Amino acid sequence: MKQACVTEEHLRNYLPCYVWGVQDPVRISTVPLSDIGMTRPPQSWQYITDEQADILERRLA
């Protein structure tokens, strides 16, 4: 909790809480967003179309 900078009381108000841990991340090659028709990066996440996913799969294969 100290590392998360929140109080125990604050966490208890949001139970159940879940945490994702990332182990051994692997860097993949980058693809310019313009290659899949995006003009700006998403704020946090964004759905992509099936066509955009196909482009990414071909580029990252």
SS3 sequence of the chain: CCCCCCCHHHHHCCCCCCCCCCCCCCCCCCCCHHHHCCCCCCCCCCCCCHHHHHHHHHHHC
Per-residue confidence (pLDDT) for residue 16, from 0 to 100:
81
Please say whether the dihedral angle defined by the alpha carbons of residues 10, 14, 18 and 21, taken in this order, is positive or negative.
Answer: negative
Please say whether the dihedral angle defined by the alpha carbons of residues 29, 32, 35 and 36, taken in this order, is positive or negative.
Answer: positive
Q: What is the mean pLDDT of residues 8-36?
A: 84
Contact 31, 56 (CB under 8 A): yes
pTM: 0.50
Residue-range domain boundaries for the chain = 32-61
Residue 1 has pLDDT above 70, yes or no: no
Q: What is the mean pLDDT of residues 42-51?
A: 89
Per-residue confidence (pLDDT) for residue 6, from 0 to 100:
83
Q: What is the mean pLDDT of residues 30-48?
A: 88
Specify the higher pLDDT residue, 13 or 4: 13
